[in-house]
Amino acid sequence: MKPMPPRSQRANFCVSLLFTIFGGPGFIVVYLPAVITRWRVPSSSNSLRIVACTMIVLGLLPLFESISRFVWAGRGTLAPFAPTETLVVSGLYRFVRNPMYVADLCVILGQALLFQSPGLGLYAVLILLGLHLFITRYEESTLRRKFGPTYDQFCQNVPRWIPRITPWAG
């Protein structure tokens, strides 16, 4: 495989970052939670805030790691209109097939704790159901068509939602 020119990598990174901020992930973990909570943080214990903020940060890290991985290992972007050329099975993808979606849910649940918002808790459940339907009805069949047996092997060895304890050596 011929290396991607740095200019293309930078363009893919910018597309992924813009899609993250203004598209799917930004919409799911920033804009809609803001509408639900209006960013009003009620008074609560410091330990609850620490747990909530830790969940939010731990959720954001895989999202940013995935952006980089999609650009450099996958030779594409997070955006569905400019997908990766190569199946990404390294990094966090050795533990779980959908680390970005797991990360989104971690951020939303952290926000639900921080804002003490039952509405955001319900929203997390709805997002989980929506993502699950999207994955099982569209994304997996699309990836199976594009990457064939390589994707089947990945699916057999890496769980969809609950991370493996040890990384898949794939």
**What ranges do the domains of the chain cover?**
6-157
Least-confidence region, from 17-31, 88-102, 116-130, 138-152: 17-31
| pLDDT at residue 72 in the model | 87
Report the C-alpha dihedral over residues 127, 130, 136, 137, rounded to 10 degrees. Answer: -160
| Contacts for 103 with CB less than 8 Å, ≥ 6 apart | 58, 59, 60, 61, 62, 63, 66
Question: Model confidence over 59-70: pLDDT tens digits?
Answer: 999 988 988 898
Question: Where does 6-157 sit in CATH, by number?
Answer: 1.20.120.1630
Tens digit of each residue's pLDDT (9 = 90 or more) over 45-102: 899 999 999 999 999 999 889 888 988 889 888 888 888 999 999 999 999 999 999 9
pLDDT score, position 8: 82
Average pLDDT over residues 117-143: 97
pTM greater than 0.85? yes
